[in-house]
Structure 1
């Protein structure tokens, strides 16, 4: 099947989960992905089109995508979390050029460092390396994990575990099984 950004949320979540089964990797994503979304908000908040910041334009486009993946609760929750991060990012864009770039780039880099630390534990490259849509799925996956922990989406979680396997702690001394 050709990779398309218009797959259903369930398929996107399963594909992303295949790269994220080690619990330490998932834990780093709980911090890293929100940091990256926030940093993108900081960096885009300074530019505007007709009085609307580029950060809100990108958020609106991403929200349209999340809401059309066939899982309304997951799409709304992801859009809400991303919206809170974008709103919180805007004040940092109002500072000096050095402050704006320092915060935006600094948080972005730290967020990605956390991602790569997690993928060390996973023993696999990040999902976006094989499919760029993974950059949009990441926030949806983290929000989904939060929702699963709160008791929502048991059927989706069961489908992910059936197709991608359960989460685990990979033995770093053992060779990877493929």
Structure 2
């Protein structure tokens, strides 16, 4: 897994619509249901994974936007080095956006919370997380944060067609960590 960066998110805690008694909140990489702390793209301070190299950069942008981060959760992400094309049924290496400097600061402490499968049709920023966005968690076992337990499980679900026709692909697998210290 490759360090991809950080993002502060406003977590959606109402998940009854998902029809899954296990899910309490949505910790997906996607911003569809649990949005990012603000519209950060116009600042062009994100890295080549369209995340942030450190929580400090997020704090600076939040201050400029007048956003209070105290009620948000800070996540640290790692990404699997290959993406999956459901139509071709193949894995291929992908690269971060090389024009954006990427120097991710590894957190001193991190807690692995699970894995998310995310669409990347535009090959830049994370798009949709079908477990939550498309409701696949109704039929796929997930944890209370709507995440998968292992990288192997995510890969197997992709390879066996569980994500086919959910969103335009390819799909990338992310490890989602909570951080308390950086």
- The answer to which structure, 1 or 2, has the higher relative contact order (CA under 8 A, 6+ apart) is 1
TM-score normalised to the size of structure 2? 0.26
TM-score normalised by length of structure 1: 0.26
Q: State the structure with more CA Rg.
A: 1
Answer 1 or 2: which has greater helix percent: 1
Structure with more of its chain in strand, by fraction: 2
